Structures are given as structure tokens and as C-alpha cells.
Amino acid sequence: MEVVSSVPPQLGAKAIMSQRWSDASFLHWRVSPDQVAEYMPEGCVPDIVDGSAWVGLIAFQMSRSAFFGGPAIPWLGDFPEVNVRLYSVDRQGRRGVVFLSLEASHLLPVLCARAVFGLKYQWASMAIERQNGRISYSTRRHGNREARSNLIVEPQSDGIESLPENEQASAVALTARWAFHQRHLGRTLYCRNFHEPWPLRTARLVSLDDQLLAAAGFEGLAARAPDSVLYAHAVDTVFAAPISL
């Protein structure tokens, strides 16, 4: 397995947007590369990690969103998000994320992200609750109430150093991405971001009732226990303007 560095590369361009991501839970399932190849944007192929392609269900709180170095806009950029994502590598060997869906509770950011980046944001009713050391995430998409997810994660005290070596490497490879690939207006975009390495901890999945994976094309996947469950407290991230492949 190729070792992916947890040290982020520099952004390499002026930041156009900043955000804070907190209470992030990462659920991942191994799948065949053939199952995800059709979702790759032109110029990209599935990134193989520890012999598999992977499907991720990622839930977190977004906050402190700001643009072009200005102050944070509390209402506009403060909301939960749950996304379904895959992992890509382009012809230049640059790794990224391919988003199949992104649930968000504020309509204006949904419309802006769809228009500017072509990202598949969906407007949803969402909540995050913290109780007794557990974090619960719930979302139900407006206009399609079957596209929903309810999950509860219990972060553990151990860092990923407690995992077997191959699982440590996979944990880094699935979270240390710092870019996304997206097809938009007839071209494939590559958009870089920068943040410090995720402070990853192991986590226990308490419960999962999910239809977002099925809505994204992976029927039945949520009925199988995830192959990896991780948690991270928070990172601050900045984005550069997207470029075309």
C-alpha cells in the first residue's frame, strides 16, 4: 500500500474562502473499484486505498465561513453537513474527493455551491446533538424525505496510533485529501484546500439508519457494518479558486 503523507501540501494560491469543520465523523466502506468508476469525473479514476475503493459517509458541523479574508458570516456559513463521497486521482497523480451528495440546512449556500462549483448540495432539515459522550447527526432532504440519515457515534480516547498499521495508513489516506474533483459546465474542476492534519481518533458506531448511500447509488451498503469509523474534533481550512484539469 502506498503511504499517503498526513502533512498537508501548501495551498499554492490565494485563499478565497475559509471554514471551520468540527465534530467530524467518518464512516467508510470498502467496495470494488468497478462500483465507483462510473461516478468519476472525466480525467479521474478511483483511488485505491489498501486494495479497495471506498465509499464515505461524513458528518460534521461547518462554521466560521468567510470569504476573501473577510469576517465570518455566522448565519450563512454555520450549519451541519452530511456528505457521501468517493476518492479520486487524476492524470497528474493528484488525489481528491468526489462528492455524490452533500446535505446542508441553509438554502443559500446550497444554491451558491451548486452554481459556482457544480457540487451536488441538497437542502435538508438537519441537527447535531451531543450527549453523554456521544454525537448524533440527523438529516432529511427537502423534496425527498426518503433521502435521510440518522447516525450516532461515540468517539474513543485512543488516537489512530492504536490501530493496526494498515488501518492507520488507510485512515490517513481517506482523510488527508486536501482537494476535490468535480465535473461542472463541461469541464473537470480541481479545487485545493489546506488544513492541518485531522486529529483523528477511533470511534464506535452506536447506530446507523441511513438512506443517503442508497440515494447516491449504493443500495444496501448501509446494512453492512462500516470498515472504518473515525472521529476528529476540529480543523480550520482554506480553499483556493478551482482550476480546470
In sequence order, what DSSP letters do the residues of 162-184 get, joined into one string?
GS-HHHHHHHHHHH---EEEEEE
pLDDT digits (tens, 9 = 90+) for 47-80: 999 999 999 999 999 998 888 777 777 766 788 9
Which DSSP state fits 120?
Answer: -
Q: What percent of the chain has pLDDT over 90?
A: 79
Q: Which three cell numbers stand for residue 173?
A: 489516506
DSSP-assigned beta bridge partners for residue 107: none
Residue 2 lies in a domain: no
What pTM does this model have? 0.95
Residue 151 lies in a domain: yes
Q: Which three cell numbers stand for residue 198?
A: 485531522
Residue 5 lies in a domain: no
Q: What is the largest CA-CA distance in the chain?
A: 48
Residue 66 lies in a domain: yes
SS3 labels along 15-45: EEEEEEEEEEEEEEEEECHHHHHHHCCCCEE
Q: With 80 as the cut, is the pLDDT of residue 141 above it?
A: yes
Residue 3 lies in a domain: no
pLDDT value for 65: 84
Q: Buried (b) or exposed (e) across 33-42, using 16+ Cβ within 10 A? A: eeebeebbbe
Residue 1 lies in a domain: no
CATH number for the domain spanning 141: value is 2.40.400.10
Q: Give the residue numbers spanning the domain of 74.
A: 15-244
pLDDT value for 145: 87
Residue 4 lies in a domain: no
Highest mean pLDDT of the ranges 7-16, 64-73, 184-193: 184-193
Using the Cα atoms of residue 119, residue 86, residue 7 and residue 161 in order, give the sign of their dihedral: positive
Domain count, the chain: 1
13 Cβ contact list (under 8 Å, min separation 6): 192, 240, 241
